[in-house]
Amino acid sequence: MSQCPICRKPVTPAHKPFCSQRCADIDLGRWLTESYKLPETPAEPDEDET
């Protein structure tokens, strides 16, 4: 059985992939406050710019 990514309790079908609406709201809040970020790679300089 899958685990909730927030609290590690078993996932419920009504709130999948979370166990409850509370954990879904916590996850949404983390996205909205930019707590989750993708790693940024430095851009390669274009040949035209050099």
- Tens digit of each residue's pLDDT (9 = 90 or more) over 1-50: 799 999 999 999 999 999 999 999 999 999 999 998 888 888 787 776 55
Going by C-beta distance under 8 Å and a sequence separation of 6 or more, which residues neighbour residue 20? 4, 9, 12
Q: Is residue 50 in some structural domain?
A: no
Q: Is residue 22 in some structural domain?
A: yes
Number of domains within the chain: 1
> Range of 9's domain?
1-35
pTM > 0.85: no
Q: Is residue 46 in some structural domain?
A: no
Q: Provide the total of helices (H) and of strands (E) in the chain, helices listed first.
A: 1, 0
According to the model, what pLDDT value does residue 23 have? 97
Q: Is residue 49 in some structural domain?
A: no
Q: Is residue 4 in some structural domain?
A: yes
